[in-house]
Every structure is written in C-alpha cells, then in structure tokens.
C-alpha cells in the first residue's frame, strides 16, 4: 500500500461532537476535555461555535470556553462561524481558525440553510474576506459530498463545483464530508481524486461518519488516494446511536489505532486519547462509541487486575 507517512488529525469532539449531544455540558467540562486532548498531543481542534444560542444552546458558552482554554504554541484552535457576527466574536476570543459550512447537495442547502449553494457562498464571502484580512486560517466543510438525505445521490461534479467555489473564497483547507455516512470506499476514492484535480490534495481533508460502519474503510481509501488530513471525534462524540438524527462522527481512537497500525505518524498518544474518551463518556453517563477506545480500556483494566492478582 502506498500511504502517507504522516497524517494530520483535526479533533472535532468538543464542537461538532458535543453540539450533537442532547445533554448540556458545562464550560468547565468542555475546557477539561480540551486540556485532556492537548495532553494527548492534539494540535488542531474545534473548540466551539459562535452561533445563536437560540439555535444551538450547547454552544451558548462559546466565549467562556475560549477564555478558559490553554493556548500552547503551535496549536490551532478552530471555531465555527456561520456569519460576520460570529466571526467578530471568534476574532475577539482569539480563534486561530474559522470554519464555514458549504453543501454539495442543492436540496440539502435549501432544506438546511434555506438558500441555494450559490447564495450560501455569497453569505460566506464577508466571513472569508474578514478571516483573510485578519490573518486567520479559513477552513471549509463541504457537507453531503457522498449522499444527501433529501436528494439521495450527489454527483461527483457537484462536489468538484463546491470545492472550486470554496477554493475561490480563499479557503486554506476544504473538508469533504460524508454527513450521513453513506459513502463507500470506491466512491470516496473517486470523489477525492476528482477534488484533488481542482484543489491541492495537501489541503484536502476527509470527514467521515460511521453511521453505516464505513468510516475507517473510507479513510483507508482516502489514504491510498493521497489524502492525509482527517477530522475525527473523541469517543465518537456526537454519534449517539440512541439519539434521533445521530450523526455518527468517526471516533478518534479508532482512526488513530488504524493509522498507528499502518505505521503512519500522527503525533498523538493513543493511551491518553483513550483516557480522554473514557472520561468524557463517563461524564455523559454512557459507553464510549469508540470500539478501539473501549477495547483498549478493557484490556488495560484486565492487565491491571492480573497484575494486582499476581502481586
């Protein structure tokens, strides 16, 4: 297999993950989660969203979280900012990166943000311009790139079109997202290769959901296509299988377990990631959604009991 020697992981648990958890999480817990992720070597993470608290009550404490976060050098703290108001708050809070969300599916754009894809790009333009003017990194997510809950199939050409529009906004990174987790590896490889023909592959990332169990196979297919950046969510946060509208973010521990097994460097400490994942799952009062996380935690417990028994 021809694979990248190093992969960059953007941890999305504290934002994309927690935002999709029903239970309100206090700012102190969010901050401790970020601290634990930093201790595991995470150097790029989504901390919060500057959005209306009416729409997303879980993120109402955005400024409080940002103010309390440790800010080690070289770590990119990323926030979601759908509009200029959000951007101003993010700037004031000292974000390193802002994220905007486009869609590859016209039907999804209409149903989700009440405008066409073309109109959504125009809405993002002031945010993009402000980010560039203020020296912030600008990342875009292109949702429903592998299938849409409303229109079904999404043609590759629509993804390429979306990547070109976001590229022209000046995005430093574009994440191709399987919002509903329906993609399979061959399709993923074709889409990534097509996207890489109009945008530098080093700035392309993959964002996969494990709703259909396909996320790791899709990431493997991406690696083989030369993609070396992925989003993942500690403990699979945001993907509660018992919640309606479960998003099913792929779990960071599962991704890192595979990458390290493939001999790919991530700069992350899997043991500490497992700790962080078990800790936040404990807070949420449920089992972690990371299979590797649970298996490694159980193995550790078994080894500990055996050591104690033989002591």
Kindly state whether residue 241 participates in binding its own copies, applying the rule CB under 8 A.
Answer: yes
Supply the minimum distance, in Å, between the C-beta of residue 210 and its own copies.
6
**Catalytic residue of the set 34, 171, 222, 240:** 240
The Cα 135–Cα 178 span in angstroms is 29
Measuring CA to CA, which residue among 248, 231, 229, 252 is closest to residue 240? 248
Supply the minimum distance, in Å, between the C-beta of residue 200 and its own copies.
23
Cα–Cα distances in angstroms (integers) from residue 12 to residues 9, 134, 271, in the given order:
9, 23, 18
| Distance from the Cα of residue 214 to its chain's centroid | 16
- Out of 53, 70, 126, 186, the residue judged to bind its own copies by CB under 8 A: 186
Nearer to its own copies, 101 or 257 (CB): 257
Task: Tokens for 222, please give them.
Answer: 């991406």
Kindly state whether residue 194 participates in binding its own copies, applying the rule CB under 8 A.
Answer: no
Kindly state whether residue 152 participates in binding its own copies, applying the rule CB under 8 A.
Answer: no
Supply the minimum distance, in Å, between the C-beta of residue 222 and its own copies.
11
The Cα 185–Cα 114 span in angstroms is 31
Kindly state whether residue 70 participates in binding its own copies, applying the rule CB under 8 A.
Answer: no
Whether the CB-CB separation of 148 and 162 falls below 8 Å is answered with no
Kindly state whether residue 210 participates in binding its own copies, applying the rule CB under 8 A.
Answer: yes
* Helical (H) or strand (E) element with 84: helix 84-93
E strands, 127-220, in order: 137-143, 173-177, 204-207
Known catalytic residue at 240: yes
Q: Which stretch binds its own copies (CB under 8 A): 21-29, 102-110, 165-173, 291-299?
A: 291-299
Kindly state whether residue 254 participates in binding its own copies, applying the rule CB under 8 A.
Answer: yes
The Cα 257–Cα 276 span in angstroms is 15
Kindly state whether residue 3 participates in binding its own copies, applying the rule CB under 8 A.
Answer: yes
Supply the minimum distance, in Å, between the C-beta of residue 77 and its own copies.
28
Nearer to its own copies, 136 or 256 (CB): 256
The Cα 100–Cα 114 span in angstroms is 16
DSSP state of 250: P
Judged by the rule CB under 8 A, the positions of this chain that interact with its own copies are 1, 3, 181, 183-187, 189, 210-214, 216-217, 219-221, 224, 241, 248, 251, 254, 257-258, 260-263, 287, 290-292, 294-296
């Amino acid at each position: 297999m021809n694979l990248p020697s190093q992969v960059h992981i953007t941890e999305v648990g504290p934002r994309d993950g927690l935002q999709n958890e029903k239970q309100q999480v206090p700012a102190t817990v969010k901050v401790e989660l970020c601290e634990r992720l930093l201790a595991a070597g995470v150097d790029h993470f989504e901390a919060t969203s500057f959005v209306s608290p009416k729409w997303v009550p879980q993120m109402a404490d955005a400024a409080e979280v940002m103010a309390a976060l440790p800010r080690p050098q070289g770590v990119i703290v990323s926030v979601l900012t759908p509009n200029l108001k959000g951007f101003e708050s993010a700037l004031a809070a000292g974000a390193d990166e802002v994220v905007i969300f486009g869609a590859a599916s016209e039907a999804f754009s209409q149903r989700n943000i009440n405008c066409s894809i073309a109109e959504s790009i125009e809405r993002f333009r002031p945010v993009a311009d402000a980010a560039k003017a203020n020296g912030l990194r600008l990342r875009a997510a292109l949702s429903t790139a592998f299938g849409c809950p409303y229109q079904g199939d999404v043609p590759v050409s629509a993804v390429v079109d979306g990547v070109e529009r976001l590229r022209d906004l000046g995005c430093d990174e574009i994440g191709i997202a399987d919002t509903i987790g329906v993609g399979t590896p061959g399709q993923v490889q074709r889409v990534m290769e097509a996207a890489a023909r109009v945008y530098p592959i080093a700035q392309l990332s993959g964002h996969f959901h494990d709703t259909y169990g396909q996320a790791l196979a899709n990431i493997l297919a991406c690696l083989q296509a030369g993609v070396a950046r992925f989003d993942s969510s500690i403990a699979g946060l945001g993907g509660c299988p018992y919640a309606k509208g479960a998003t099913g973010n792929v779990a960071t521990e599962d991704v890192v377990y595979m990458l390290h097994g493939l001999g790919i460097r991530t700069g992350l400490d899997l043991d500490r990631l497992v700790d962080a994942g078990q800790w936040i799952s404990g807070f949420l009062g449920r089992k972690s959604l990371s299979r590797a996380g649970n298996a490694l935690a159980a193995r550790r417990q078994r080894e500990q009991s055996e050591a104690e028994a033989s002591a």
